[in-house]
């Protein structure tokens, strides 16, 4: 796996991330299914004609994002593997290549995902803190983060993630919905890692071209359920179509700074913060999302922003 990872990163400028960085590069963990030790080919199963490696195999796969600045030629990649007597089968999907490598090798097979650049750009959500590490060309002796979570309000440092990996701990950084349940169970029940704290939602900063980003809030989350309860207290006829969370770093920084200034003038430095509902229409929604509330429309006797 190390040779294939080196070829992908150093020759084809791919970005390596995910389980291999976590389990092998940082943790130096290995595991094999005891019941299948004598039959490595049985580690491979197929779903919709795509190969998958048994959940007990560690490390099991390589996750790579293809470069945005260069054309990737799968045939040249195949030829490069052949130079090292590495065999592979290529499976093509719209958004990625899946490669089954060393299927007949006594050391056992593994898979590799090569994800198209336009899809990789949308992979900005993190499931666990320990899955947020990456390696890139020219920085192969340094660990990077897929998404920067070192800034406020998360303050999760790289050193803390490495320490969690060394001690088989992890934090859940998004709501546990039906998409995440399988990964969570694999980490806790099969690989016996320990979850730290309660899940919380990490929303990455928007692209520099935009001031804000909206992220759907799954109905399974506690925040969604709390908001639903509060809305029904307003009126049982209220029907929630969807809830989206706003991420606007400039407004968040301004709000936190103002809250501290107000807190300095309050007893116990408590600014008496309260969540409130505000009703408005389309143009108002866009303006609040991008620029915040306009104090010129404030009316102490008004309801719903009137």
Domain boundaries, position 157:
2-195
Of 84, 110, 83, 82, the closest CA to residue 98 belongs to 110
Both tokens of 264, joined, read 């300095």
**Considering the entire predicted model, what is its pTM?**
0.79
Task: Tell me how far apart the terminal alpha carbons of the chain are, to the nearest angstrom.
Answer: 62
Structure confidence at residue 87 (pLDDT): 95
Q: Judge whether 237 lies within some domain.
A: no
Structure confidence at residue 194 (pLDDT): 97
Q: Judge whether 253 lies within some domain.
A: yes
Q: Please check whether residues 286 and 189 belong to one and the same domain.
A: no
Read off the pLDDT of residues 140-186 as tens digits, 9 standing for 90 and up: 678 999 888 887 778 899 999 999 999 999 999 988 877 788 999 99
Q: How far apart are CA 194 and CA 28, in angstroms?
A: 17
- State the total domains in the chain: 2
Q: Judge whether 67 lies within some domain.
A: yes
Q: Judge whether 236 lies within some domain.
A: no
| DSSP element (H, E) containing 182 | helix 181-185
User: Does residue 119 or residue 123 have the better pLDDT?
Assistant: 119
Q: How far apart are CA 203 and CA 243, in angstroms?
A: 14
Torsion of CA 75, 80, 85, 91, to 10 degrees: -30
Which residues are CB-contacts of 10 (< 8 A; sequence separation ≥ 6)?
A: 137, 140
Cβ-contact 205, 248 below 8 angstroms: no
Q: Judge whether 63 lies within some domain.
A: yes
Instruction: Return the bridge partners of 47, or none.
Output: 50
Average pLDDT score over residue span 115-122: 78
Structure confidence at residue 266 (pLDDT): 92
Torsion of CA 289, 291, 296, 297, to 10 degrees: -10
User: Does residue 262 or residue 301 have the better pLDDT?
Assistant: 262
């Amino acid at each position: 796996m190390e040779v294939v990872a080196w070829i992908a990163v150093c020759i084809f400028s791919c970005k390596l991330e995910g389980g291999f960085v976590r389990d092998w590069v940082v943790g130096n963990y290995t595991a094999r299914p005891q019941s299948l030790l004598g039959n490595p080919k049985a580690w491979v199963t197929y779903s919709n004609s795509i190969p998958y490696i048994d959940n007990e195999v560690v490390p099991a796969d390589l996750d790579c994002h293809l470069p945005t600045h260069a054309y990737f030629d799968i045939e040249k990649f195949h030829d490069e593997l052949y130079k090292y007597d590495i065999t592979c089968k290529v499976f093509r999907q719209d958004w990625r290549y899946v490669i089954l490598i060393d299927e007949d090798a006594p050391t056992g097979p593994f898979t590799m995902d090569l994800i198209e650049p336009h899809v990789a750009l949308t992979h900005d959500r993190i499931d666990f803190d320990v899955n947020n590490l990456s390696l890139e060309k020219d920085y192969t002796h340094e660990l990077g983060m897929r998404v920067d979570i070192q800034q406020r309000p998360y303050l999760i440092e790289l050193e803390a993630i490495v320490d969690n990996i060394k001690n088989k701990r992890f934090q859940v950084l998004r709501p546990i919905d039906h998409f995440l349940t399988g990964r969570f169970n694999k980490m806790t029940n099969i690989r016996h890692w320990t979850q730290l704290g309660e899940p919380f939602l990490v929303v990455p900063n928007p692209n520099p071209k935009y001031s804000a980003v909206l992220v759907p809030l799954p109905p399974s989350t506690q925040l969604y359920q709390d908001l639903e309860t509060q809305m029904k207290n307003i009126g049982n006829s209220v029907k929630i179509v969807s809830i989206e969370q706003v991420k606007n770093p400039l407004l968040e920084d301004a709000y936190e700074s103002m809250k501290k200034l107000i807190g300095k003038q309050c007893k116990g430095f408590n600014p008496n913060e309260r969540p409130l509902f505000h009703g408005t229409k389309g143009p108002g929604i866009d303006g609040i999302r991008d620029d915040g509330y306009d104090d010129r429309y404030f009316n102490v006797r008004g309801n719903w922003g009137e």
